[in-house]
Structure formats: C-alpha cells, structure tokens
Amino acid sequence: MTDVSTHSATERGAVWLAGAGLRPTRQRMALAGLLVGDGKDRHVTAESLFDAAADTNEKVSLATVYNTLRAFCDAGLLREITVDGSKSYFDTNMSDHPHFYWEDDNRLSDAPAEQLEIARVPDAPAGAEIASVDVVIRLRRS
C-alpha cells in the first residue's frame, strides 16, 4: 500500500526542483520533500534540515545539506536570511516579506508584510545596485 502523504511530498519536491531546472538526485529529492513536501512555507537552518533528514532515516551528510541549500538558493528556490552575520536561515517563501527573529529560541518567522512601511532606502553607491532589502525584526519575550 502506497503512503499518499509521502507520495505527494515526493511529487511536490520533484515539481519544485523541475521548475528550477535542477537534476533530481536522491539527496535533492529527499531535502526538497522535507522543505516543500507538505505545501507549507518554512524557515530552516542547515543543521535543522540535517536533523529532519536524520529523523526520516535519510542518509545525507551535513556538507551535502549545506551544498544542496546553496544550490537551491542559486536556482532561486530559497532565500537566505542571515542573522547576526553568521547564522543563516533558508526561507521557502520567495515573496518579499519581513521576518521576526525570536532571540530567546533562535527562530525565524514571517512578519506581516502588509504592516511594513519603508518610505525610502538610501541610494546605492556609484557602481552598485541594490540587490535586495531584508528586514529582520528582533524580538525578545517580555
């Protein structure tokens, strides 16, 4: 008997990869299924994705997870959000939107885009162009 949820997760992952023209290797398929298989947006770190893969008995090294996340970013499937200059989160929601960073538990979540108002950003220096603007609002429990 086929597990329907696994089949649809695999299918979603395959479609996601195909849309970016990425070859569906075993590792990419497994990680894509974890990232988009349930159809929900998520924020992951390489370590949390590695742990999720291990929880499903998927044999993949941490280096492969890092390389695969980089390939997904390069293909336009994920957005990398860097917090504190060293901690990277990977977002499956590619729309322009701000984030909340929860300092108490090192977690990133979407913030309501409709509530954000940026009237103006500084001009880029000569010879440069603005590639993107990331808004991360740091939160601490009171």
pLDDT tens across 31-85, in order? 999 999 898 999 999 999 999 999 999 999 999 999 999 999 999 999 999 998 8
Number of residues written out for the chain: 142
DSSP helix/strand/coil, 5: helix
pTM for the model stands at: 0.86
Residue 1 lies in a domain: no
Residue 2 lies in a domain: no
The backbone region for 55, taken as left when phi is positive above 0, alpha when psi lies in -120 to 50, beta otherwise, is: alpha
pLDDT tens across 101-136, in order? 999 999 999 999 999 999 999 999 999 999 888 899
**Separation CA 61–CA 95 (nearest Å):** 30
CATH (domain of 94): 1.10.10.10
Residue 117 lies in a domain: yes
Residue 4 lies in a domain: no
Task: Give the strand order in the sheet containing 87-91.
Answer: 43-44, 87-91, 79-83
- % pLDDT > 90, the chain: 79
Domain limits for position 77: 9-139
